[in-house]
Amino acid sequence: GPMQEFNCQVDPEAAKMVFDCGVALVMVPLDVTHTVLVTPSVLQRVRIVYCRVASMRQDTYRSVFGFIHPPLHDPCAVAFVIAPHLFKVRELRVDIETVSPYTAGQTVCDVWRQTGRPANCRVAVTMDVAQFWDLQLAALAEADVASPLNMLTIPKGG
């Protein structure tokens, strides 16, 4: 959809229940994950397997969203769990649109505190992309060493 993040779009009522349930939440929105681009310098650091995956994504992100390089999403959320210091977060009220045929599933962050409702989520607003890639590539290198396939070629130190 034009405004929704995928997981909220496919089940906005469930997303609303999660955001309203009272547990401590952290959201890493598209505004942040769209800064983690699979650039040529990243592709150079990881060659065989990762390049194949990235090239499949690149065509879609270019034709549909106008991105020159495709972003990553889920690894950003995992990175928050492993290395929260890479992120700047704000305590915000987040509600999920469940009614509109155009924006059902949209996460609505009360950035200016207009609703008067209490914050229910820590929302990532930026992340250190360079350190994210160092973390991601180190994890891939470690997995490659442990794998019997040894399919990745990752330059040392890089």
pLDDT digits (tens, 9 = 90+) for 73-115: 999 999 999 999 999 999 999 999 999 988 999 999 999 999 9
Q: Which is higher by pLDDT, 85 or 153?
A: 85
Question: Is residue 49 packed enough to be buried (19+ CB in 10 Å), middle (13-18) or exposed (0-12)?
Answer: middle
Helix H, strand E, coil C: the string for 9-44 is HHCHHHHHHHHHCCCCCEECCHHHHCCCECCHHHHH
Domain ranges of the chain: 1-36+72-141, 39-70
The per-residue pLDDT for range 4-36, each reduced to its tens digit, is 788 898 999 999 999 999 999 999 998 899 999
**Residue 85 among the catalytic residues:** no
Q: Which residue is catalytic, options 34, 69, 73, 85?
A: 73
Nearest CA to 69 out of 93, 42, 96, 48 is that of 42
